[in-house]
Amino acid sequence: MRIRGVWPCDNPPTDLFKNGGNARGDDRGHVKKISRQVSEIHTEFSFELFPPKSEIGEKNLLSQIHLVERIKTRAICVTSGAGGSGNDRTLKTIKSLENNVSSNLTAHLTCIAATKNQTHQSLDRYAQEGIFNIVALRGDLNEDQNDLTTLDSYGNAANLVRGIRNRNDGDQFHISVAGYPETHPKAKSRKSDLENLKEKVDEGADLILTQFFFDPVTFFQFIEDTDRVGISVPIIPGLVIPSNFHRVFNFAEKCGTHIPDSLVKKFDGVESGSETANRIATEITLQQCSHLSENDIRSFHFYTLNRLDLVVPVCELLQEGISSSPKPVHRKP
């Protein structure tokens, strides 16, 4: 099995995840070559945050954001509004964070509920602000949108990636896309879902961030499946610390993530967000990452639910534990 849960190069913050950098042009083949190598690299993280919905939420996020400076954070991704509420709050949140962190800031960009012109207006604003790291997504419809036949949108992530690359400044963007180890819940089949992912990569995506999962074997099988269909860009596993188990359970139902019965039993009778729940969730995540790291996975993408106070300490434990562990034996899971 080819392990690709690593970032494309050893030092991407200024070169790859900043202003397009070395991900494009003459160095693109070099990046692909490095991405296929299994090398001893430091444990790296990226975080996903969502735009706060209130002033209190914004203050809470800003009070925690300094915590990311304690670890090696490759990128902080800011989502678009849920339910197709658009990309405006994404930029506002990035602007509020940029003076507080040294990590590269990445913007989610959804397209299904916007015209192509509106999508390019968003890209224009990002480019003007020097934001060239994008997570290209289909997104959700607005609540009042039922008929898309009259809306001139990109319609899906593959078309969006192509639209970005066709811009005059298209080669400056570093584009990540979403992958589903357990298949997108709206996909017709596993095969069609993988074909759709390959189309996104063929259109110019640089990196795949996966939906969260709980069984590492699921991720390893996903890597084998993507290898089989000819996908060779780096794939970063997505993780969530399930301290608020009921919330994560609801997310999992919507995105098609299987939660093992053994995990459900661990939270039986445990209050979500309690100290006991935090301890159990931390142990689960450390075990999951330990299994991944034993197979040379050194990069992790955390869906933080804006709980940096919970995620950062876990990442510190991972950095310490993985870096001090003996060199893993390469094996097929």
Which residues are identified as catalytic?
48
In this structure, is the dihedral angle defined by the CA atoms of residues 244, 246, 249 and 251, taken in order, positive or negative?
A: negative
In this structure, is the dihedral angle defined by the CA atoms of residues 320, 326, 330 and 333, taken in order, positive or negative?
A: negative
- Listing DSSP states for 25-43 in one string gives GGGHHHHHHHHT-------
Looking up tokens 């042009």 gives 25
Cα–chain-centroid distance for residue 326? Answer: 28
C-alpha to C-alpha distance for 296 and 145, rounded to whole angstroms: 44
Burial of 290 (0-12, 13-18, 19+ CB in 10 A): middle
CB–CB of 38/327 below 8 Å? no
Within the chain, residue ranges assigned H as helices are 12-15, 28-35, 55-64, 88-97, 116-128, 157-165, 190-202, 216-228, 245-255, 261-266, 275-293, 308-324
C-alpha to C-alpha distance for 99 and 280, rounded to whole angstroms: 34
Both ends of the chain: CA-CA distance in Å? Answer: 8
Pairing relation of β-strands 73-78 and 235-239?
unpaired
C-alpha to C-alpha distance for 117 and 112, rounded to whole angstroms: 12
C-alpha to C-alpha distance for 117 and 32, rounded to whole angstroms: 32
CB–CB of 288/216 below 8 Å? yes
Residue 274 CB-half CA count within 13 A:
10
Secondary element (H or E) of residue 145: none
